[in-house]
Amino acid sequence: MSSYNKQTRESFPQELEYVISSTRIRLARNLDSYPFPAFLNERQTSEILTLLEHELMEINPAFKKYSLKNMSSEDASVLKEKHLISPALVKNGAKAAVFISPDEKFSVMVNEEDHLREQYISKDFEVFDAYEKISTIDECLSDALNFAYDKRLGYLTACPSNLGTGMRASLMMFLPALAKKNTLKSSFDVYRNQGLIIRGTFGEGSPSEGYTYQVSNERTLGVSEESILEQVYEAGLTLMSAELTAREELLKKDGLRLRDDCLRAYGTLTNCVLLSQEEMTELLTKIRMGIAFGFFRTMSIEAFDNFILEMQPKSFKKNNSPNSEEDGLRIRARLVANELEKNVIRLD
């Protein structure tokens, strides 16, 4: 019998961070008396940007505004890699802007698919707290502005899939054992029937990378915010429990091969001279898996995850400015080797 029966969050203090990478709460809102972003003219766009900048700066003067009009595609890609903006915001170009808090936990997109996409991201499993935090911004905006709202349909959004609460609560989860067991697909179907969706790393419709999946609510209308949060929270606990059980089983059945696979990855990454993005992604996933299975130790999994984020293509290019393709391969190999030697310790 597994030692990981579904329990409360407090029952998983150590294992939590090796399964749940982050929590995100997103609220979609529109101002009344204006068409939605796709139908805005220049004057209306200017009014909305002016209004929302004023209100958001009143709420938090430390917010930094990024106008997509003036932003390079490289900078936009960096923000996309950090999940602070979406591809849809970049597509809206001159109409769009984003306001980001200094700690990069709050981001408010203006004129994405809707006038407002308020978002809070936490590196912790804190569904309810994250909602409280984004609600403080939402309440302030709600007190100052007229949102498009209908008694029956709730908050009115450009896409009917966001009506009602306008809320998407999601967890990013690292599920290598469940993925290796090939049971994840059937779990996806079970959760779908319960109104939850499980997708690859970058949200809607993209392939999974590095065994990381996004779990979020599908329904937003006819359900309350509290019930959505409960549902996502419970799904997080259930999947975490299943993943930890699957890891135990995998270790018992194939522990030696698993360890060999992870340590080979470590060997390659600490010794290679040239390293491509694809190879790095594949091997760092094995390192992360090795940390989760107890073959390695790291001071902070959050710091390790942040390192992986900084090594994403656009962020890497911006931070290191490689002179050539070979220079990039060389720099990447060096950075990864340094990081692993410093922060990832092999446990024998």
Residues making contact with other proteins (CB under 8 A):
30, 32-36, 38-39, 47, 50-51, 54, 113, 142, 144-156, 158-161, 163-165, 167, 195, 218-225
Give 13-69 as a DSSP string: TTTGGGTEEEEEEEEEE-BTTS--GGG--HHHHHHHHHHHHHHHHHH-TT-EEEETT
Question: How far does CA 270 lie from the centroid of its chain?
Answer: 28
**Dihedral angle computed from the Cα positions of residues 109, 113, 115 and 117, in that order, rounded to the nearest 10 degrees:** -40
Q: Using the minimum distance from each CB to other proteins, give the nearer residue, 130 or 329.
A: 130
> Tokens 């130790």 identify what position?
297
307, 339 Cβ separation under 8 angstroms? yes
Q: Min. distance of Cβ 55 from other proteins in angstroms? A: 8
Q: Using the minimum distance from each CB to other proteins, give the nearer residue, 144 or 347.
A: 144
Q: Min. distance of Cβ 48 from other proteins in angstroms? A: 10
220, 227 Cβ separation under 8 angstroms? no
Q: Min. distance of Cβ 231 from other proteins in angstroms? A: 13
> Tokens 């935090």 identify what position?
133
Q: Using the minimum distance from each CB to other proteins, give the nearer residue, 219 or 330.
A: 219
Q: Min. distance of Cβ 22 from other proteins in angstroms? A: 24
Q: Using the minimum distance from each CB to other proteins, give the nearer residue, 165 or 170.
A: 165
Q: Min. distance of Cβ 146 from other proteins in angstroms? A: 5
The strand pair at 97-100 and 106-110 is best described as antiparallel
Q: Min. distance of Cβ 224 from other proteins in angstroms? A: 5
Distance CA 24, CA 126 (A): 9
Distance CA 87, CA 90 (A): 5
Q: Using the minimum distance from each CB to other proteins, give the nearer residue, 27 or 258.
A: 27
Q: Min. distance of Cβ 103 from other proteins in angstroms? A: 25
Distance CA 164, CA 227 (A): 13
Q: Using the minimum distance from each CB to other proteins, give the nearer residue, 151 or 252.
A: 151
Distance CA 84, CA 99 (A): 9
Q: Using the minimum distance from each CB to other proteins, give the nearer residue, 225 or 234.
A: 225
Q: Using the minimum distance from each CB to other proteins, give the nearer residue, 30 or 77.
A: 30
> Tokens 């994250």 identify what position?
130
Q: Min. distance of Cβ 223 from other proteins in angstroms? A: 7
Beta strands in the chain (DSSP E): 20-29, 64-67, 97-100, 106-110, 116-122, 149-150, 154-155, 167-174, 196-200, 212-217, 296-298, 344-346
